[in-house]
Amino acid sequence: MRRFVSMAALAAALAANPALAEDRTPQAFVAQAEAAYAKTSVEANQAEWVYETFITRDTEALTARAGAKMTELTVANAVAAASYAMVPGLDYDTGRKLNRMRTMIVLPAPVRSGAAEEVATIQARLQGIYGKGQGTLNGQAINGSDIEAAMGTNRNPAELKEMWTSWHDNVGKPMREDYTKLVALSNEGARELGYADVGALWRSNYDMTPEQFAALTERLWQEVKPLYDQLHCYTRGKLNERYGDAVQAGTGPIRADLLGNMWAQEWGNIYDIVAPPGAGDLGFDTTRLLADKGYDPLRMVRTAEGFFSSLGFASLPRTFWERSQFVKPRDREVVCHASAWNIDNLDDLRVKTCLKVNADDFVTIHHELGHNYYQRAYNKQPAFYQDGANDGFHEAIGDTVALSMTPGYLVRIGLLDRAPGAGKDIGLLLRQAMDKVAFLPFGLLIDRWRWQVFSGQVQPADYEKAWNDMRLQYQGVVPPSERPAGAFDPGAKYHIPAVVPYTRYFLARVLQFQFYEAACKIARWKGPLHRCNFTGSKEVGERLDAMMAMGASKPWPDALEVFTGSREISGKPMIRYFAPLTRWLEQQNRGRQCGW
């Protein structure tokens, strides 16, 4: 499709790249743009790292300034790339890099003077609101990280409601006006790049048209939805048994704050409520094992590194241990949301976490190191190829590792003396499903809500209503009480103010089972798929590294084929993994009115 690029936008792009006045061939433009991008991205990474690990008014201004510079460069490059992409006879790399320059922008700003600064300032302010956000418990202030932990263990409906409501009110609502401005500004920028809106731009980043990508995600959702429906039905029944009709009815949607997570995105924390009678004891408690073995956050990270070392990957650099944030500092505000960084796009790998010694964070650090090893694998690629095959790949690598954290893995690292017998399998699978399967509709709906916001299908006055309608439609969950029209509950989820596309997590939930099944075949695993542990397989490491080293240099089906032998993302490996649980859930749900 021919994309219209305004002369003003193209002039701004050329002004930002004066060397093009001498040589304006597509190849020269790409070379110069890539060099500038590599340099400026490091500066932006450094500023953002300082801000997220030390939130002050000054660091907010610094990261906004660096973000504006990065936005100006990427937008200028993108609008020029849209013009150069029309040149006939482009070689493969020039054509692919021109396309990536247009689609790799997450938050485009208009090219007019001051717009990039305005976008960056708003985004920094939104992240600051989130990072400094607090709710209450029994009327006392409590930060987001502590609310997240408390909602995993608290079983008092009134206190759960208070934490959920106060967090959403205090964090989400103040963002509403700024977020509305951000949507308008970024849509203006997307149109200058030739896209209908920001949502269409995001969906164009998957080596297919926006329409094809929307269809792909719908196909995958339909493949896995029957499993989610059975899990929802069973979980609702157990919550009704625990709390009674006055708190949780036996039919209809589930009250969001009862699911053990402040966003109801994963439900594993309420496994004690849903555990199978007589078979619910998994035979171990990872949180307790970590405590009994004297683990601290640093040892958790060392253990996660050991997993990758067992596959043949080199150890993390010394600077990783010197420069990472592993725990929440006591003397300052930080963004606690876990993330993995490569500051210099070479070997300055870091994680930013607020680890606690528990099972969830043990999985989290394995996941984040998956990002780091992926970042290092493609660090020899040109700057525009230093990314995952698609963003779902990046998330799926760490999640695949987490799937391999079976009882067999815990035995291997000395946390567990012996793996439980087959009689514990349903409990183990249900515990996995409470996180992996429960997440699927949440992973899908966040961007589907944003797609409608960006397209104008949902107007600002209806932000809150559309959000709750979509959560009901996909997840079958509702807020603990009626939400006012002026609320902005989407902002209470980090990825909304941070403007991080979210469909990647849905793709990752599906891809990880495809990667896992492939890894188990490569490791020549014999036995039930859900018990496979490929730790120590150098062959898996070699194949995984071959896929990761490609970065974004080839269309994602090429990368998928290198590791799995298939060019198509499929939800069928997930269905095969949970097949024993599916049969069990269907038996448990007989006589229940499923759906909502």
CB 157 within 8 A of CB 243: yes
Pairing of the two strands 339-342 and 349-352:
antiparallel
Rounded to whole angstroms, the Cα distance separating 420 from 250 reads 33
Handedness of CA 526, 426, 357, 498 (dihedral sign): positive
Task: Using CB atoms within 10 Å of the CB of residue 427, give its burial: 0 to 12 exposed, 13 to 18 middle, 19+ buried.
Answer: buried
Rounded to whole angstroms, the Cα distance separating 136 from 556 reads 44
Return the structure tokens found at 246.
């006055």
Tracing tokens 């391999």 back to the chain, one arrives at 404
Phi-psi region of 277 (alpha: psi -120 to 50; beta: other; left: phi over 0): beta
Return the structure tokens found at 398.
């760490």
Return the structure tokens found at 270.
């309420």
For the chain, how far is it from start to end, CA to CA, in angstroms? 41
Question: Active-site residue numbers?
Answer: 337-338, 367-368, 371, 395, 495, 505
* DSSP 8-class letter at 325: B
Give the C-alpha distances (Å, rounded to integers) separating 102 from 105, 123, 211, 353, 530. 7, 20, 17, 31, 40
Q: What angle do CA 373, 374, 379 make, to 5 degrees?
A: 95
Query: What Rg, from alpha-carbon coordinates, does the chain have?
Result: 24
Angle between helices 359-377 and 391-403 (to 10 degrees): 130
Phi and psi torsions of 104, nearest 5°: -80, -10
Handedness of CA 96, 98, 99, 101 (dihedral sign): positive
Tracing tokens 């990761």 back to the chain, one arrives at 548
Angle between helices 439-455 and 425-436 (to 10 degrees): 10
CB 596 within 8 A of CB 472: yes
